Structure 1
Amino acid sequence: MLLCLPFLIDLHYQNTQHYGYGLRILGPQQPGVVLLSQELIAALLACSLFCLFLISDRGPRHLPTINFDQLFASLYESYSESQENKLRCIVHYFQRICLQMPTRSVSFERKLLSLGHQPLQSCLSYPYADFWTKSTIPLCPFQVHSSGLIEDHAIGTLEVDFENKYLGGGALNRDCVQEEIRFMINPELIAGMLFLPSMADNESIEIVGVERFSDYTGYSSLFRFTGDYVDKRNVGSLGRRKTRILAMDALCSPRMKQYKLNYLLRYVNFWF
């Protein structure tokens, strides 16, 4: 896969140059889309596995960790079964794609609501309380489920990644909760960590088309890889699986402050 990377990069830019979907840094307050083939994602993740990406300028550019060195180091510095099982998910992903390379596409889109008086091109302005109190638009139909996992509910739903302003959170480090688990069972999500800097309060990231490769049980320290998972979701537009994940920066231990007006607006606007 690594040896194919130069060819895959050239092919990628040939196929995307006319549509504006090419691989690039989608910087803060810059809406845009990157569309990658699953084969190119596999090559990029192989670079991460072997820690080949330069990291000297990632901090100043507010980019998350992308190489796997910290994940490997955590096995020796403070061993836990959950960390070992995170790596088992990653190894299983590479085993699967070596047997049969997937041929679909995945898109990564930085979405934002403009904070200025004049919305940016292709962006809506940030709605404040006055907008919502005067709105007469009815809510769309919705269902409430008291049990089950986000990734196991109905096909076609928007699945939310509640976690960290840095896409992926601690997926390539020690953490192992909602976001990190999702990035292990759907490793193609990790590719977005390469080119998507941290999110502000008016931004979110939508990822469409990732394939799930692993099954699991447990949460946090009890997380365990339990074997292969065959993703049977249908394929939609642009050759993407019908899996839509919306990443947003959740408040840290908000308690009652989440009901203050500015925080309520923040969450309502994420969905807007």
Structure 2
Amino acid sequence: MNAAYYSPPSFSRTDLAQFKKSVQWQWKGYRTSSGVFNKLHSTDDLIKSIRKYAQVPAHWNFQLLEETLNFSVDTSCKKVFLQETYKKIEEIASKISSTHKNVFDKLGDEEIILTREQIVCILANAFLCTFPNHADNKTMPQINFIGLFTSISTNPAVQKEKIKCILNYFKLVTEYGFWGNLRDDVRFKKVSLGGSKSGAPQLPFDPSTISLDLSKFGNIEGDLFECPNDSGQVMFSNKRLGGGVLGNGSLQEENRFITCPELIVLKIFFPELADDEVVIVENAGQFSKCEGYGFTFKYVPIDRMIKTGSIIAMDAMDFSRHPLGDAAQWEAENIRRETIKAYVGFKNVKEQNIGTGFWGCGGFKGDPLLKTLIQWIAATAANKTLQLFYLPNERYIFDGIKQRLNSHEREQIFDGVLSKLKRPREKICKCNCGNVLCSKQSRERMKFTPKSTNAAYPYNSYNY
């Protein structure tokens, strides 16, 4: 089997049945009227209350949740959460065994439509950690918030900022003024080419018909999170959706998940992507903003939900772990894989404009110029207009790409990528033959790896 197109098995139907049964059983003993859920007066009361629900080992602590409430939020916010919001979280979570008992019936389907009320119910249970503890079964969905609440990392400050995002989410969705939004639908759908799982799917367009159309490519200096809600927005995903959102990860995907917590349910319904699969999320809400990435991540509060455009969750290949290193990204089959992935995402959103950035160009060692061209080709084939977002500290990257695309090499670079799409079996050539299809020559001609002069910014803003 072609390793580039191999997708590990996801969780089984047996796992799903066990998961659903375990969740409903957990609430059997707590089926009660809302009046029984009492106000809390301290974080000690909070931890004791969560522990009566939590399906986690006794040695797991809730230290960071406690510290966040005691030291990182103001006294009035803490009081509201303990005496009002938390009681509502309990009430909502308890409905998973009654009002929302069928919420998991569509596990394994290609398209899931959930109301915001159902999503709040799932996330309330995740907050209380009622979902089954399955450390011994890695194929089971992982969604409890215990990884956020427990101090097990070297960067607890980031986890505390993420906890603030979650607290703000529950504050907003439990306010009286939000009730009218609870019946709104959020649509999650997995799309693909539907090709053979034993080999590379067929390229859905003829590379010979693609031209370098500058009208299909624009650029905006700004955060991709500020992309207009009438545009599709690329999320630089892991193969396992959500990445480290429920731990101390805080790169592009994790930041999108934590500021739009409704996305966290993807970890149950679509936990993993195959090589020709993308997940599209329509009508998701943003409940916080943020600044920075990695160690610099900071929560920024907002006082109302902001609706986003369609979110395109698509994973790039990880060349940091490839046997050939980042050189492998110039191999024809890998260019083809990335182009198909982007095409599937772009083609299946309703918006004409697609907001993206340097997809796959951080820890996954993708080359910004190559990844920009791949997305440009995919957008052109899907008849979409691409908008490349970059932050001020990434300006040097964009300027370098622009310089290359405005040079006499432009046609040669572009035609080189298209040529590889026409020859999916072309392998890395280690010679120095000068052939335009020789990967070594393509690599030297196209590679763009400038050094940042911004020493104050320790992390790339693009993550994968």
Question: What TM-score bracket applies, with the shorter chain setting the length?
Answer: 0.7 to 0.9
Aligned equivalents of 2:99, 2:217: Cα separation in 1: 42
Give the counterpart of 1:127 among 202, 206, 218.
Answer: 202
Is 1:196 the counterpart of 2:270? The answer is yes
Aligned equivalents of 2:233, 2:123: Cα separation in 1: 23
1:159 corresponding residue in structure 2: 233
Task: Normalising by structure 2, report the TM-score.
Answer: 0.47
163-172 or 141-150, larger mean C-alpha shift? 141-150
Give the counterpart of 1:24 among 106, 110, 120.
Answer: 106
Does the residue aligned with 1:212 lie in a helix, a strand or coil? Answer: strand
Is 1:227 the counterpart of 2:305? The answer is no
Deviation of 1:134 after TM superposition, in Å, equals 4.4
Give the alignment of 1:1-272 within 5 angstroms: 1-9=92-100, 23-26=105-108, 32-56=110-134, 59-61=137-139, 63-73=140-150, 75=151, 77-99=153-175, 100-101=178-179, 102-103=181-182, 104-116=184-196, 126-128=201-203, 131-135=205-209, 142-233=216-307, 243-253=309-319, 255-270=326-341, 271-272=343-344
Give unpaired runs (5+ residues) of structure 1: 14-21, 118-124, 234-241
Aligned equivalents of 2:141, 2:219: Cα separation in 1: 33
Does the residue aligned with 1:91 lie in a helix, a strand or coil? Answer: helix
Question: Would the aligned equivalents of 1:204 and 1:246 in 2 still touch at CA under 8 Å?
Answer: yes
Aligned equivalents of 2:135, 2:194: Cα separation in 1: 27
Aligned equivalents of 1:232, 1:205: Cα separation in 2: 21
166-175 or 192-201, larger mean C-alpha shift? 192-201
1:17 corresponding residue in structure 2: none
Deviation of 1:4 after TM superposition, in Å, equals 2.5
Aligned equivalents of 1:90, 1:154: Cα separation in 2: 23
Question: Would the aligned equivalents of 2:319 and 2:329 in 1 still touch at CA under 8 Å?
Answer: no
Question: Would the aligned equivalents of 1:5 and 1:44 in 2 still touch at CA under 8 Å?
Answer: yes
Deviation of 1:171 after TM superposition, in Å, equals 0.4
Deviation of 1:143 after TM superposition, in Å, equals 3.9
Residues 1:177 and 1:77: Cα distance change in structure 2 (over 3 Å): closer
Residues 1:221 and 1:253: Cα distance change in structure 2 (over 3 Å): farther
Aligned equivalents of 1:207, 1:36: Cα separation in 2: 11
Residues 1:57 and 1:72: Cα distance change in structure 2 (over 3 Å): closer
Q: Deviations over 1:84-133 (max 9, x none)?
A: 1001000110111111333211111111222239xxxxxxx93239x533
158-167 or 141-150, larger mean C-alpha shift? 141-150
Does the residue aligned with 1:145 lie in a helix, a strand or coil? Answer: strand
2:352 corresponding residue in structure 1: none
Deviation of 1:139 after TM superposition, in Å, equals 7.3
Deviation of 1:168 after TM superposition, in Å, equals 0.5
- Cα RMSD (Å): 2.9
Question: Would the aligned equivalents of 2:172 and 2:303 in 1 still touch at CA under 8 Å?
Answer: no
Residues 1:23 and 1:142: Cα distance change in structure 2 (over 3 Å): farther
